[in-house]
Amino acid sequence: MIMLAVIMTADASTPVVKPDSQDKPRQIVSFVKTEHDAQWYARQAELWSAQVTLTPDDDDAWINWFHATRYRLMFESEDNDYDEAPLIAIAEKVRKERPESYARYCLDYYSTMWLKGYNDLEDNMEKAIKMRPDNAYMYKDYVVYLLNTGNKDLMGDILKKWYETGEFSYTLLSYAYNQLAGMEQDGILFVNGDIPTFSSLMIQYGKGLHTDKTVICISLLYSPEYLKNICNQLGIAEISGPTDWTEDGMRKWQEEFFLTVADKTGRPVYFSTLLSNLPFKDKLYSEGLVYKYSPKRYDNLSVKRKNFEDIYLTDYLFETFTPETYEASAYRLNLNYIPCFKSLLDFYKENNDRRQMRKLYSMMKRIVARTENISDEERKRYYDEIDR
């Protein structure tokens, strides 16, 4: 990620800048939904700081101030190793001034998640959820927290509410549906990151589809609570977390965990093709938007063909009538269809299946044409890959 220089800063001692009608603070959403540069986040941190001073009982102002400051620091930093002092100052300020508030409980949770040396804070996040269960702005954080604690009933309620807002991206939901739909009964899918995790769980809990499958977020496996809950959910003996926290040590632990899950459950195991570091690649077979783990070779191209022709819902890739709410990441995600299905396009060409070839070819071309936030050079590379 290219970080942009910032000319404004904001921390807990930022001077009050009273917002006027021309420069009001804006809600800070995840940069995977809508991305801005460091200067924009810096200005928003100033405005939300001013709002906190004007209305100190405004919980949302505190939370937005914290998020704007964090994103400003992230986008200033080239290696994501930034000075946490401004965030610590905000969190300590709300603890002092509003100790029993919704904002304090939420910022304590963020502190345990993101700040060094704050793992021993009292867990009050469930209190926050009970105080404002319908705060859609916080649904993503509620879900991550409930995933860790294993409260599936409450998590299911939150995900259903989130789905019913209509706010979540139709593109991301469609992509997640196709991933799950192409898997075998009772399959286990390993994903990583907010977007693949939320969208998959929303298909299951919000829409009530493919509930026989189990979605596991790899990055959360390093949380002892989440790891324990996953083992219980899979019906296997509890697995200890890694002891070697080097990159190589964690990679080896992950691979051992994947193999143990496959062996002890006897269930089909899949990996999202969006994962950047895939394990034992010689035993992974592409079936479309997922890789299936298999110690033995099999005709995975026929499965990929079935998924494209009979299982996947792809109309949304050609045309939709719903505004996209995650424009920063949704359309780029669809580009993944091209490398995932290039082998199938070649198969149709070689076997002179003109009807399916035209359908897949036009779908790929349409995906590239609709993706706005890529360079001309990158767009050309995708077109060249399709025509190669």
Q: Is the pTM of this model over 0.85?
A: yes
Does one domain contain both 339 and 234? Answer: yes
- Tell me which of 62, 93, 119 is where a domain ends: 119
Burial of 42 (0-12, 13-18, 19+ CB in 10 A): buried
Residue 249 pLDDT level (bands cut at 50, 70, 90): very high
Q: Identify whether residues 105 and 166 lie together within a single domain.
A: no
- Which of 119, 141, 176 is the endpoint of a domain? 119
Residue 105 and residue 47 share a domain: yes
Residue 79 has pLDDT above 80, yes or no: no
Q: Which tokens hold the place of 207?
A: 């829409």
Tell whether the model's pLDDT for residue 199 goes beyond 70.
yes
Residues 226 and 337 in one domain: yes
Structural domain that includes position 55:
1-119
In a domain, 139, yes or no: no
Quote the pLDDT of residue 17. Answer: 46
Domain count, the chain: 2
Segment 136-149 mean pLDDT:
95
Give a yes or no: residue 370 inside a domain: yes
How confident is the model over 318-358, as pLDDT tens digits?
988 888 888 778 888 999 999 999 999 999 999 999 999 99
Taking 90 as the threshold, does the pLDDT of residue 135 lie above it? yes
Residue 14's pLDDT is 39
Same domain, 240 and 302: yes
Question: Do 369 and 243 lie in a common domain?
Answer: yes
Within-domain flag for 60: yes
- The yes-or-no verdict on residue 45 having pLDDT over 50 is yes
> For residue 329, what pLDDT is reported?
81
Q: Answer yes or no: is 144 within a domain.
A: no
pLDDT digits over 302-321, tens only?
999 999 999 999 999 998 88
- Quick one: which H or E segment has residue 272? strand 269-272
112 and 198: one domain?
A: no
Q: What angle do CA 264, 270, 275 make, to 5 degrees?
A: 125
Share of the chain above pLDDT 90, in %: 81
Last residue of a domain, one of 119, 141, 175: 119
* pLDDT band with cut points at 50, 70 and 90 for residue 115: very high
Residue 149 inside a domain? The answer is no
Phi, psi at 193, each rounded to 5°: 90, 160
Segment 158-176 shows an average pLDDT of 95
One domain, residues 206 and 114 = no
pLDDT band per the 50, 70, 90 thresholds, residue 373: confident
Residues 316 and 177 in one domain: yes
Strands (E) located in the chain: 188-191, 214-217, 269-272, 284-286, 290-293
Per-chain mean pLDDT for the chain: 91
pLDDT of residue 117: 81
What local confidence, expressed as pLDDT, does residue 22 receive?
Answer: 55
Q: Are residues 197 and 96 in the same domain?
A: no
Adjacency order of strands within the sheet including 269-272 = 214-217, 188-191, 269-272, 290-293, 284-286
- Is the pLDDT at 96 greater than 80, yes or no? yes
